[in-house]
């Protein structure tokens, strides 16, 4: 699995988990959902996101 696939998988997991946490735990978790969404949005234009740097340092191939 490469960095792009991992970013989509992790981003989708974060969004799904934070929506469920917002529904069942505390609505403030929706702020995390917004953060992840905005981060994915900006990465479409800049081709960079913090998770990309983390995954590369972890040794995931590009």
By residue range, what is the domain housing residue 23? 3-57
- 24 inside domain: yes
pTM, two decimals, is 0.85
What confidence tens digit (pLDDT) does each residue in 23-48 have?
999 999 999 999 999 999 999 999 88
- 62 inside domain: no
pLDDT surpassing 90 at residue 62: no
| Residue percentage of the chain with pLDDT more than 90 | 92
- 37 inside domain: yes
Number of domains in the chain: 1
Using only the alpha carbons of the chain, give its radius of gyration. Answer: 13
The answer to whether the beta carbons of residues 15 and 41 sit under 8 Å apart is no
Alpha carbons 54 and 18: distance in angstroms, whole number: 20
The residue among 53, 55, 14 whose CA lies nearest residue 37 is 14
Please provide the DSSP assignment of 21-45 as one string. Answer: HHHHT-GGGHHHHHHHHHHHHHHHH
């Amino acid at each position: 699995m490469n960095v792009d696939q991992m970013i989509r998988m992790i981003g989708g997991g974060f969004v799904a988990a934070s929506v469920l946490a917002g529904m069942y735990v505390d609505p403030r978790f929706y702020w995390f959902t917004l953060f992840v969404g905005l981060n994915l949005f900006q990465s479409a234009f800049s081709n960079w996101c913090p998770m990309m740097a983390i995954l590369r340092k972890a040794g995931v191939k590009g």
